[in-house]
C-alpha cells in the first residue's frame, strides 16, 4: 500500500487511520468481517448477496460531522490526562469557598489549548470529508439488467459486474472476467498498492474470458466462494462454480482497488470485496504510536511535581490549621469564618484545595502546547533542508511524524538494509562464466580505461545504454560457440519480464527486480533479444532470426526456492528446462558429471565476489516427451489443489529440477550509493553502532561491508558465526568473546612480545592467518580460522564489566540459520554480549521477521535508542519495530516510506538527519524544558513563601491577570524561539565533530539530575524575588513620606522583577540569536509593561470595577526609584551567581562545544574569507567520484539478492561509486583511557547487564582517505570528548616528579592560537597531536600555507608532546575538512 502522488484529491483519505469504523454502519460490518469464515458471491444477483450484509463500497474515513464534532472532539481531548487535570482545577475554582483565583485564570489557557487542537482536528477531518466525497462520487459503469449504467462508486455493491476502461482506477476488488486483449489478459499498474511502477499482467479464467459482450455477461450467474477479507496483497484463494464445474481462482485473476488499468482497451470484473473490505483499506490500519524517552521522562517528572504540589499543599494546610487555632481565633469577633467553616480543621481542608489551585502553575498546560509547536518547527526544518534534497529524483527529506525529532539526537544503534539502502539497487551486467571460461575484465580507476563495446553494428536491437568491455565474449557469440549461445538463450527465456515495444526495435522491459532486467538486457545486446510473450509462447530474435518457443511451464521464483525455471519447446520439438538461481541451491541439483566444470565455475564465483558482485548459476535439463507428460500431470494436480497448494507446487518443482547440466554463472554489480563510506565513518565516530541486516548471502554482505568501510583490513579481527546447531553457535560466540578479551589485554599491554604472541597464535592484527594476508584464498581461510577444530566446552560468558574493558575494533558476521539459534530465549544474552562488543555487525540471509527480532532484542537488552533504515517491503517490520524508522524512496516502491517516521532518497542524508537535525532537536528540547521548569518554579514558589506571611489564607501574591497571562503571553514566545531556533555550533561543525553527538546518547542534557538543578535554581530565584522586595519595601517610603509597604506595591514589584529576571535568564540561555529571538525576548518584556499599565488604568476600572482592583498601581509603583533599585538588586542576586558559575565552568572546564565555538571565532579572525558558504562547503565534501572501488584482495563469494517478491510465472503461463572525502575524520578520535563520559557509558551498560559498545574508544578514520597524513596517538584530546566532556586535567608522565595538574582555559587557548600559530604550525612531528597538514591553496594547484588544527594549539598549551610520547596505543590517521589557513 502506498499513498498516491495526487493526494489528497484522490486517495489521501484511504491511508488515514480507520477511526471512521466507529461509525455505526461500518462498525457492524467490521465486526462481521472478523467473524466471516468464507465469502460467497453470486454474479448479477443483488438479492442473494444482500442477505450476507456485505459492506458497501462507500468509504468513510472522516471522524466527525457538524453535529458530532464538538462532543466527540472534546471527549477525545479530555482523554488526555493533562486536559482532565486542568478541567478538575477549573471545577475547583468554581467553588468560591476554596478559590482565591478567578475561574478565567484556568479556563483561558485551557480553552486556548482545546481550541487549537480542535481547529487542527477539524482541518484534518475537512480534508478527509473532501477526499471521501471525491472518491465516493466517482463514476463507474455497472452492468444492471443487461445494460451498462453509470453509478457512483459508493453505490457499487458486491456481486455487481463493472466495466473498466483504459487508465481508469479500479473501484473495488474485482475478479477479472474478460478483457479486450487476447486470452483474457489485461495490464495494470499497482504503484498505489505496493509502490512498484512496472506494469503487471492479470488474466481471467479461461472459461469466462469468452464472455466478451454485455449479453453474455448479463446472463453469467457463476458463484465465487473465497477467503474472507484480509490484508494480504499478494495472495487470494477462491473457487468459481459455474455450470456444474469448479475453477481455481488465485491472485493472478484479481484486480485490486487502487490499481490502474493500462494498455488495455476495456475489461469486465465481478466485485468480490467492496469498501472497507478491500485489501487496500484492510492495509490502512493504525501505525504503532511511538514516544520518545524525553516524553516518558517528562511524564514521570510531572507525577513527581504533582506529588511535590500535594506536599506543599499539605504543609500550607497544616500551617493554616495551626494559625487558625492559635492566632485566628483572636480575630473571630470582627473577621469570622465563612459560613461553611466551623472549625480550624475544616478551614485547613479548604486551604489545601485552595493552594492546589494556586500552585498548579508548576505544571502549566502551555507546556504541552509548546512542546508540540517546537516539534512541528523542527519537522519543517527537516522538510526544508536543501542539503537533504536529491535533485536526481526530485525528492526532499520528509518528517512524517512530529513526535520523534529529539530522539534523532539519541540514536545508539542503526539497523540498515543493504540492497537499495547502502547500494543503488541499479544493476549492471559485469562478468560471466561460460563453460569454464570467464569473461568481463575489471577496470582500474587509476589505469587506462578499456574501450566500451559498440553493439549497434552487430545488433540493431541492442540497448545503447548497456556497457561491457570484454570483446572476447562478443567474438565468442559471433563465431557461434554453442555454449555461449545456450547461455544467452537461457537468459532470454528464463524470466518473467514483460516487454513493451513502443516502436519497431524500441523495446522497454518491465522486470520484477533490477537483477532480472539486467540479465535480459545483457542477452538482448549479445544477440538473443526477448521480444514478446503470450501465456503459451515466448518470441525472441536470436542472431537476427525470429524464433518462437512454446512455453510449457514456469516454475516461479520465491524466497524459499531461491531459483526459477521455465520449460519450453523449441521449434524443432525438443523440450528443455532452463533454470537460474543462487549457486548454493543450484549446484547441489546438478548431474554428477558436472563436477569438474562446477569446481572451475565455483572458482570464478569466488573471483567475482572480490568486487562484491551478485551472482547466479545457470543450468539446463533436456526432457523427453514421457518425462514431460508424467510431470505435467502431477503439476496440474498440484495447481488445482485447494489445500496446501503452495507446498504441493514446491514439491512438484523440486521433482523436475534435478540432474541438470551446468552452463555457467553471471555476475551483476550493484554499486554503492554516493557517500555511503563517509557516512558510515562519520556515524561510527559519533559512537553509533551500525548493523547491516540483509537477505543476501554471507559473501555478498561481507564484501559490501568492506566496500562501505564497515569492515576494514585494519580491524583487529572479523568473526564469522555459521553454526548450524544451538550448541555450535554458543561455542562460536563464546570463542569470539574469549578472543576479544585476549587481544584486548595484549593490545593494552603494548609490548612487542605481546605482538609476537599474536604471531605465535597464527594470527595477525587484522584477524587473518599469518602468511596468507596477501593471498586471495588465505584471507578466506583466515576468516574461517574461528571455525577450526572445536575445543572443549567453553567457559560461561564473562561478566559484563570484563567486556567493558575490551579495546580494539572487532566485527562479527552471522548467517541466517545461526541467527535463528542466536535469537532463541536462552541464547539472547550470549549473542548480545558478543555482538555489542563489536564495532560492526552483519547479519546475512535474514528474513523480514528476523530483522524485527534483532531490533527488538537490542531494545530489550541495551535500553538504547534504535533506528532502522530500509527501502523495501521486506524492511517494513524492522522499520516499525525500531524507535525511529527511516524509509529510502528508491527502486523498490515506497512501502518502506509509508511505514517510516522519516524519509529521504539517499543513505548519506542520514548523517545530517542525526548529527545536525537530531542533535539540534535534542539540544533545543532539553534547553526548553530546563528553562520552562525553572521559570514556572520561580513564578509559583513565591506563593508558597507568601503563605507564611498571610496567615496561610491562600492569598495570591500577583494580580490574577498576571497569573493568567504569565505563561501564555509574557514568557511563552521567548522560550518557543529558543526551542525552535537555538543551536550551539553551526551545522558544518556538528558534522566535523561527531563527538558532539554523545551527550544525547548518554542523555546528559536533560535528566533527573538536570531537572532537580533547574527546580533548585527556580526555588532560589523565588526566594530572592520574595524576600528581597519584602525586606526593602517594608521600611521604604515614597518621596512624599507615604510608606511603600502595601500589598499591591509588593505584588507589582515582585511581578516586574520576575519578568525581568526570566527574560535575562533566557537571554543567557540562548546560544544562537536571530531576529525572531530579539523580537520575542525584548518584545515580551515590553508587552508586559504595556499590558500591565493598561490593566491598571482607570478606564478599565470604570468599566469593570469588580474585576480590576489594581487601579493606578502600576504607574505609582514604577515611578518610585526605590522600586527600580529593588528590582535591580533582585535581578543581580538571581543572575550574578549564574554568570559566575558559567564563566568559571567555561574557563576552567570547557566542553567540546565551547572549544568548537572558540575555534570558530579564532578562524573568523585569523583566516581570509574563502568566499564559500556553509552549504557549499559541506556539499562539496567528497564530491569527486573515483569510480568503482578497486578490487580488494581476498576470496569471498557473492550472492543474488532475494529481496523482491514472487514473480509472475504462474500468471504468465495461465494467460562501486565511491567518493573520497576530505573530512577531518580522525579529528574526532578520542583515547581509550577513562574520561567521565566513558565512565557514564560503562555505568549505563552495567545497569542494563549487557556489555557496552566498544566504540566509546578511539574511532579511526577510514583507511582510504586520500592524502598522506601522519598517524595520531590515542591520547586525550578536546576533540575526543563529547559535548559535555570537560577538558580533563593533564598530568605529566615523568616518573620522578610529583604529578602536577595543569589547567588551561579556553581564553588562553584563543590567545595562544594568535601568538603561537607560526611556531606551532610546522611542528607536527609529535604523534600526540593533530598534525597540521599541507593543503592546496584556494587560488591554485600549489600547496598553500600551513594549515593548523585545534590539536596544534593543544600541543603548545597543554604540553601534550610529553604525554604523547608516553602513549603506547597508536591512533588513526587524520585529515581535516576545513582547517584554518594562516597567512
Which residues contact residue 781 at a Cβ distance below 8 angstroms, ignoring those fewer than 6 apart? 769, 772
How many Å apart are CA 327 and CA 340, to the nearest integer? 20
Name the phi and psi angles at 645, rounded to 5: -60, -45
- Reply yes or no on whether 173 is catalytic: no
Q: Which three cell numbers stand for residue 451?
A: 574501450
Q: Which helix (H) or strand (E) holds 866?
A: strand 865-870
Q: Which three cell numbers stand for residue 1147?
A: 574557563
Q: Which three cell numbers stand for residue 724?
A: 548450524
How many Å apart are CA 902 and CA 869, to the nearest integer? 9
- Catalytic residue, chosen from 125, 160, 385, 417, is 417
275: left (phi over 0), alpha (psi -120 to 50) or beta: left
Please tell me what DSSP assigns to residue 996: G
> Is-contact 738 794, C-beta < 8 A?
yes
Angle at 139 between CA 138 and CA 140, to 5 degrees: 125
Would you tell me how many other CB atoms lie within 10 Å of the CB of residue 198? 18
Q: Which three cell numbers stand for residue 428?
A: 549492471
Cis previous bond, 8, omega within 30: yes
Q: Which three cell numbers stand for residue 413?
A: 544503534
Nearest C-alpha neighbor of 837 from the set 797, 796, 884, 868: 797
Which residues contact residue 260 at a Cβ distance below 8 angstroms, ignoring those fewer than 6 apart? 167, 168, 169, 170, 188, 189, 191, 192
Would you tell me how many other CB atoms lie within 10 Å of the CB of residue 717? 24
Q: Which helix (H) or strand (E) holds 850?
A: helix 848-862
Rg over alpha carbons for the chain, rounded to the nearest Å, is: 37
> Is-contact 886 902, C-beta < 8 A?
yes
> Could you identify the residue written with the cell 568481463?
440
814: left (phi over 0), alpha (psi -120 to 50) or beta: beta
Name the phi and psi angles at 269, rounded to 5: -145, 150
How many Å apart are CA 554 and CA 317, to the nearest integer? 84
How many Å apart are CA 115 and CA 76, to the nearest integer? 13
Beta strands in 145-296 (DSSP E): 147-152, 161-165, 173-179, 185-189, 199-203, 223-226, 238-242, 245-249, 254-255, 260-262, 266-273
In this structure, are strands 411-416 and 865-870 parallel, antiparallel, or unpaired? parallel
Q: Which helix (H) or strand (E) holds 279?
A: helix 279-282
In this structure, are strands 147-152 and 884-888 parallel, antiparallel, or unpaired? unpaired
> Is-contact 806 740, C-beta < 8 A?
yes
How many Å apart are CA 748 and CA 267, to the nearest integer? 75
Q: Which residues of 952-971 are buried (b: 16+ CB within 10 A; e: fewer)?
A: bbbebbbbbbbbbbbbbebb
Angle at 641 between CA 635 and CA 642, to 5 degrees: 155
How many Å apart are CA 27 and CA 1117, to the nearest integer? 65
> Is-contact 732 786, C-beta < 8 A?
yes
Q: Enumerate the β-bridge partners of residue 261.
A: 188
49: left (phi over 0), alpha (psi -120 to 50) or beta: alpha
> Is-contact 440 447, C-beta < 8 A?
no
Active site residues: 417
Amino acid at each position: 500500500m502506498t499513498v498516491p502522488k495526487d493526494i489528497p484529491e484522490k486517495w489521501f483519505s484511504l491511508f488515514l487511520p480507520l477511526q471512521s469504523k466507529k461509525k455505526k454502519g461500518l462498525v457492524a460490518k467490521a465486526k462481521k468481517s472478523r467473524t466471516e469464515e468464507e465469502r460467497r458471491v453470486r454474479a448479477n444477483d443483488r438479492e442473494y448477496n444482500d442477505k450476507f450484509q456485505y459492506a458497501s463500497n462507500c468509504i468513510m474515513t472522516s471522524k466527525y460531522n457538524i453535529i458530532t464534532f464538538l462532543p466527540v472532539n472534546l471527549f477525545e481531548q479530555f482523554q488526555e490526562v493533562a486536559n482532565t487535570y486542568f478541567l478538575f482545577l477549573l471545577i475547583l475554582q468554581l467553588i468560591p469557598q476554596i478559590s482565591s483565583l478567578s475561574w478565567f485564570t484556568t479556563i483561558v489557557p485551557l480553552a486556548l489549548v482545546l481550541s487549537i487542537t480542535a481547529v487542527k482536528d477539524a482541518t484534518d477531518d475537512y480534508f478527509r470529508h473532501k477526499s471521501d466525497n471525491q472518491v465516493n462520487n466517482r463514476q463507474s459503469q455497472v452492468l444492471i439488467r443487461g445494460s451498462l449504467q453509470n453509478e457512483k462508486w459508493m453505490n457499487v455493491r458486491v456481486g455487481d459486474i463493472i466495466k473498466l476502461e483504459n487508465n481508469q482506477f479500479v473501484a473495488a476488488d474485482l475478479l477479472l472476467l474478460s478483457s479486450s486483449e487476447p486470452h483474457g489478459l489485461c495490464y495494470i499498474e499497482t504503484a498505489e498498492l505496493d509502490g512498484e511502477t512496472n506494469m503487471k499482467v492479470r488474466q481471467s479464467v479461461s472459461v469466462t474470458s469468452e464472455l466478451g459482450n454485455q449479453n453474455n455477461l448479463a446472463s453469467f450467474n457463476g458463484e465465487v466462494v473465497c477467503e474472507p477479507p484480509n490484508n494480504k496483497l499478494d495472495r487470494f484463494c477462491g473457487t468459481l462454480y459455474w455450470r456444474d464445474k469448479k475453477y481455481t481462482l488465485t491472485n493472478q485473476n484479481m484486480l485490486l482497488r487502487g490499481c490502474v488499468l493500462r494498455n488495455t482497451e476495456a475489461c469486465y470484473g465481478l466485485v468480490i470485496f467492496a469498501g472497507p473490505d478491500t485489501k487496500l483499506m484492510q492495509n490502512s490500519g493504525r501505525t504503532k504510536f511511538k514516544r520518545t524517552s524525553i516524553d516518558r521522562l517528562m511524564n514521570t517528572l510531572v507525577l513527581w511535581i504533582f506529588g511535590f504540589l500535594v506536599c506543599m499543599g499539605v504543609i500550607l494546610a497544616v500551617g493554616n490549621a495551626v494559625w487558625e487555632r492559635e492566632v485566628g481565633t483572636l480575630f473571630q469577633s470582627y473577621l469570622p469564618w465563612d459560613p461553611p467553616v466551623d472549625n480550624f480543621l475544616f478551614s485547613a481542608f479548604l486551604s489545601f484545595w485552595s493552594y492546589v489551585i494556586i500552585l498548579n502553575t508548576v505544571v502549566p498546560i502551555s507546556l504541552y502546547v509548546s512542546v508540540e509547536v517546537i516539534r512541528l518547527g523542527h519537522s519543517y526544518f527537516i522538510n526544508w533542508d536543501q542539503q537533504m534534497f536529491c535533485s536526481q529524483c526530485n525528492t526532499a527529506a520528509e518528517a512524517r511524524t512530529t513526535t520523534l525529532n529529539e530522539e534523532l539526537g539519541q540514536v545508539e544503534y542503526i539497523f540498515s538494509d543493504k540492497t537499495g539502502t547502502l547500494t543503488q539497487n541499479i544493476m549492471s551486467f559485469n562478468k560471466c562464466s561460460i563453460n569454464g571460461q570467464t569473461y568481463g575484465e575489471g577496470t582500474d580507476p587509476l589505469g587506462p580505461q578499456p574501450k566500451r563495446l559498440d553493439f549497434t553494428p552487430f545488433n540493431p536491437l541492442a540497448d545503447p545504454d548497456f556497457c561491457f568491455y570484454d570483446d572476447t565474449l562478443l567474438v565468442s557469440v559471433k563465431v557461434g560457440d554453442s555454449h555461449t549461445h545456450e547461455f544467452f538463450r537461457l537468459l532470454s527465456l528464463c524470466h518473467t519480464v514483460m516487454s513493451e515495444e513502443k516502436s519497431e526495435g524500441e523495446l522497454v522491459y518491465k522486470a520484477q527486480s533490477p537483477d532480472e532486467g539486467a540479465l535480459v538486457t545483457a542477452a538482448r545486446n549479445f544477440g538473443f533479444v526477448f521480444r514478446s510473450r503470450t501465456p503459451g509462447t515466448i518470441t525472441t530474435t536470436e542472431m537476427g532470426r525470429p524464433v518462437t518457443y512454446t512455453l510449457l511451464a514456469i516454475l516461479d521464483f520465491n524466497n524459499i526456492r531461491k531459483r526459477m525455471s521455465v520449460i519450453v519447446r523449441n521449434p524443432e520439438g525438443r523440450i528443455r528446462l532452463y533454470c537460474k538461481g543462487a549457486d548454493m541451491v543450484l549446484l547441489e541439483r546438478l548431474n554428477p558429471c558436472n563436477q569438474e566444470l562446477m569446481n572451475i565455475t565455483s572458482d570464478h564465483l569466488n573471483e567475482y565476489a572480490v568486487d562484491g558482485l551478485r551472482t547466479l548459476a545457470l543450468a539446463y535439463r533436456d526432457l523427453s516427451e514421457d518425462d514431460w507428460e508424467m510431470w505435467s500431470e502431477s503439476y496440474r494436480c498440484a495447481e488445482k489443489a485447494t489445500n496446501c497448494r503452495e507446498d504441493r507446487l514446491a514439491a512438484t518443482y523440486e521433482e523436475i529440477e534435478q540432474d541438470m547440466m551446468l552452463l555457467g554463472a553471471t555476475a551483476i554489480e550493484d554499486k554503492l550509493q554516493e557517500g555511503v563510506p563517509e557516512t558510515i565513518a562519520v556515524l561510527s565516530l559519533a559512537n553509533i553502532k551500525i548493523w547491516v541486516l540483509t537477505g543476501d548471502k554471507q559473501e555478498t554482505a561481507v564484501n559490501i561491508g568492506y566496500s562501505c568501510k564497515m569492515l576494514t583490513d585494519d580491524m583487529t579481527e572479523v568473526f564469522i558465526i555459521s553454526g548450524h546447531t544451538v550448541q555450535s553457535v554458543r561455542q562460536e560466540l563464546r570463542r569470539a568473546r574469549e578472543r576479544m578479551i585476549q587481544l584486548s589485554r595484549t593490545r593494552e599491554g603494548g609490548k612487542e612480545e605481546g605482538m609476537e604472541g599474536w604471531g605465535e597464535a597464527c594470527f595477525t592484527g587484522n584477524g587473518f592467518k599469518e602468511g596468507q594476508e596477501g593471498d586471495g584464498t588465505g584471507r578466506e581461510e583466515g576468516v574461517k580460522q574461528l571455525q577450526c577444530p572445536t575445543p572443549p566446552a567453553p567457559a560461561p560468558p564473562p561478566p559484563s564489566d570484563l567486556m567493558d574493558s575490551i579495546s580494539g575494533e572487532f566485527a562479527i558476521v552471522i548467517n541466517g540459520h545461526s541467527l535463528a539459534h542466536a535469537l532463541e530465549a536462552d541464547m539472547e544474552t550470549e549473542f548480545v554480549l558478543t555482538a555489542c562488543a563489536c564495532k560492526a555487525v552483519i547479519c546475512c540471509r535474514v528474513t523480514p521477521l528476523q530483522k524485527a527480532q534483532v531490533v527488538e532484542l537490542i531494545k530489550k537488552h541495551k535500553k538504547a535508542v534504535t533506528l532502522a533504515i530500509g527501502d523495501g517491503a521486506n524492511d517494513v517490520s524492522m522499520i516499525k519495530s525500531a524507535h525511529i524508522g527511516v524509509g529510502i524512496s528508491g527502486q523498490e516502491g515506497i512501502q518502506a516510506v509509508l511505514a517510516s517516521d522519516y524519509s529521504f532518497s539517499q543513505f548519506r542524508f542520514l548523517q545530517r538527519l542525526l548529527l545536525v537535525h537530531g542533535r539540534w532537536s535534542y539540544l533545543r528540547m532539553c534547553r526548553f524544558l530546563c528553562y520552562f521548569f525553572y521559570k514556572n518554579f520561580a513564578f509559583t514558589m513565591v506563593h508558597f513563601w507568601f503563605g507564611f506571611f498571610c496567615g496561610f489564607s491562600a492569598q495570591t501574591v500577583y494580580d490574577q491577570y498576571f497569573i493568567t497571562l504569565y505563561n501564555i503571553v509574557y514568557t511563552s514566545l521567548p522560550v518557543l524561539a529558543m526551542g525552535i531556533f537555538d543551536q550551539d555550533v553551526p551545522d558544518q561543525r556538528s558534522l566535523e565533530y561527531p563527538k558532539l553527538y554523545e551527550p544525547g546518547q548518554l542523555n546528559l542534557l536533560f535528566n533527573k539530575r538536570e531537572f532537580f538543578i533547574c527546580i533548585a535554581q527556580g526555588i532560589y530565584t523565588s526566594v530572592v524575588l520574595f524576600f528581597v522586595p519584602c525586606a526593602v519595601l517594608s521600611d521604604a517610603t515614597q518621596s512624599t513620606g507615604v510608606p511603600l509597604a502595601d500589598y499591591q506595591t509588593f505584588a507589582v514589584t515582585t511581578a516586574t522583577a520576575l519578568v525581568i529576571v526570566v527574560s535575562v535568564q533566557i537571554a543567557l540561555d540562548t546560544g544562537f540569536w536571530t531576529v525572531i529571538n530579539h523580537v520575542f525576548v525584548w518584545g515580551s518584556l515590553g508587552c508586559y509593561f504595556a499590558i500591565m499599565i493598561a490593566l491598571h488604568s482607570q478606564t478599565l476600572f470604570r468599566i469593570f470595577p469588580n474585576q480590576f482592583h489594581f487601579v493606578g498601581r502600576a504607574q505609582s509603583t514604577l515611578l518610585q526609584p526605590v522600586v527600580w533599585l529593588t528590582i535591580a538588586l533582585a535581578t543581580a542576586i538571581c543572575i550574578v551567581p549564574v554568570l559566575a558559575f558559567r564563566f568559571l565552568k567555561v574557563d576552567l572546564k570547557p566542553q567540546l562545544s565551547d572549544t568548537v565555538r572558540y575555534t570558530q571565532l579564532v578562524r573568523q579572525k585569523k583566516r581570509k574569507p574563502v568566499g564559500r558558504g556553509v552549504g557549499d562547503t559541506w556539499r562539496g565534501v567528497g564530491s569527486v567520484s573515483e569510480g568503482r572501488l578497486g578490487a580488494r584482495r581476498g576470496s569471498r563469494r557473492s550472492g543474488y539478492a532475494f529481496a523482491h517478491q514472487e514473480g509472475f510465472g504462474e500468471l504468465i503461463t495461465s494467460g562501486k561509486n565511491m567518493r573520497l572525502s576530505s573530512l577531518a575524520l580522525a579529528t574526532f578520535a578520542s583515547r581509550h583511557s577513562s574520561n567521565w563520559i566513558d565512565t557514564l557509558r560503562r555505568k549505563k551498560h552495567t545497569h542494563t547487564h549487557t556489555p557496552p559498545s566498544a566504540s566509546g574508544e578511539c574511532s579511526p578514520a577510514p583507511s582510504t582517505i586520500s592524502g598522506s597524513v601522519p598517524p595520531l596517538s590515542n591520547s586525550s584530546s578536546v576533540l575526543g570528548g563529547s559535548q559535555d566532556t570537560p577538558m580533563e586535567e593533564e598530568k605529566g608522565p615523568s616518573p620522578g616528579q610529583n604529578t602536577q595538574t595543569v589547567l588551561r582555559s579556553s581564553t588562553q587557548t584563543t590567545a595562544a592560537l594568535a601568538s603561537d600559530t607560526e611556531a606551532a604550525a610546522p611542528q607536527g612531528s609529535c604523534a600526540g597531536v593533530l598534525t597540521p597538514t599541507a593543503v592546496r591553496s584556494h587560488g591554485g594547484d600549489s600547496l598553500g600555507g600551513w594549515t593548523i588544527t585545534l590539536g596544534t594549539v593543544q600541543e603548545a598549551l597543554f604540553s601534550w608532546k610529553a604525554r604523547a610520547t608516553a602513549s603506547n596505543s597508536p591512533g588513526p590517521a587524520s585529515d581535516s575538512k576545513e582547517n584554518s589557513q594562516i597567512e
